[in-house]
Amino acid sequence: MEEVFGVFGDPVEHSLSPVMHNAAISALGMKAHYHAFRVCYEGLGDALLGARAMGFGGVNLTIPLKERAFTLGFVELDSLSRVIGAVNTVDFRDGIRGFNTDGLGALRALEDASVSLRGKSVVLLGAGGAARAIAFQFASVGARVLIVNRTGERGRRLAEDVATVGVAEAFSFSSMEELLDGAHVLVNATSVGMHPLVDRTLVTGDMLHPGLVVFDIVYNPLKTRLILEAEAAGARIVTGEMMLVYQGAEAFRIWTGVLPPVDVMKRAVLDALGV
Ligand code: NAP
């Protein structure tokens, strides 16, 4: 029988996970399929129990369910998803277990671009779900994480949480230029610049310097305004598709024990984005 994998979310129709995972499934010759399922916030508990009862291989969770999974009493959280407070991968092989692969996806995207983080200063824009995962992952490999978030209190709370595993501090936007002067990496983990508001950026080219690595996790569009300004300023750029690919690859490995072909997954994502 064909094994079923999927992504639960609402909205979910624009998710690139089905094309990415189905490309890997085909390349590996597996008898399986990955579908998108629209699951509302209140429906997540029933959907997870149903998926387990029907023998699903595993699911990813996206907006607005990552934090919801955390509040369901029956999802057994691994240590990372517990500190992050969000789950993006659920495995059904041994109960219902929750993981968060977003931070690892971001780390591998930078490693792919030959960027190492140990001892480096990273300015992280945002303190939402993706930023939390990135902050914990980067601090745990020895980066100094400098968090700047629109809602200051949320940024300060994240810095306090991350300080339990590494070095993290919160700053206001007014410190941005000074922070960037001494930084090695800038990560945009906000939704600013994402379709349809593609002309927005929190940081402009005049604040960037050659040698700085500018990583925008937004992948729709792939070349955000921040990425275009960074290119023009001579900074090194890392676009969002490889984080998507590597977080998905790690989920696939958790479910199947198999490392999927990341090149095939990347091609599928770029094709879907029309790049
Ligand atoms: P989220 O939990 O809703 O967090 C959104 C963040 O953006 C918050 O820090 C929020 O600040 C900030 N923000 C939103 N509008 C802003 C504005 N106008 N000015 C300043 N800050 C603003 O979302 P998320 O799940 O972390 O996702 C964030 C982005 O990352 C999305 O574009 C998503 O598509 C992308 N993403 C990419 C990947 C990948 O694999 N490449 C993975 C996950 C997410 P406040 O706290 O002040 O509200």
Residue nearest atom 34 of ligand 1, based on CA coordinates? 218
Residue 165: which of 123, 189, 186, 134 has the closest Cα? 134
Q: Is the backbone of residue 98 left (phi > 0), alpha (psi -120 to 50) or beta?
A: beta
Mutation test residue for ligand 1: of 15, 191, 250, the one with most atoms within 8 Å of CB: 191
Residue 50: pLDDT band with limits 50, 70, 90: very high
Q: How far is CA 169 from CA 153, 201, 213, in A?
A: 12, 22, 20
Q: List pLDDT tens digits, range 179-235.
A: 999 999 999 999 999 999 999 999 999 999 999 999 999 999 999 999 999 999 999
Report the C-alpha gap between 135 and 69 in whole angstroms: 20
pLDDT at 70: 87
* Spacing, Cα 172 to ligand 1 middle (Å): 17
* Ligand 1 atom at minimal distance to the Cα of residue 66: 25
**Counting atoms of ligand 1 from 1, which one is nearest the CA of 131?**
26
Helix axes 262-273, 17-27, angle to 10 degrees: 140
Cβ < 6 Å from ligand 1: which residues? 102, 105, 126-131, 149-151, 154, 189-192, 194, 202, 217-219, 240, 243-244, 247
What does pTM read for this prediction? 0.96
In sequence order, the β-bridge partners of residue 146 are: 123, 169
Task: State how beta strands 58-61 and 89-91 pair.
Answer: antiparallel
CA 240/CA 83 separation, integer angstroms: 24
For ligand 1, the distance from its centroid to the CA atom of residue 2, given in whole angstroms, is 35
Per residue in 58-83, pLDDT (tens digit) is 999 999 999 999 899 999 999 999 99
The catalytic site residues sit at 66
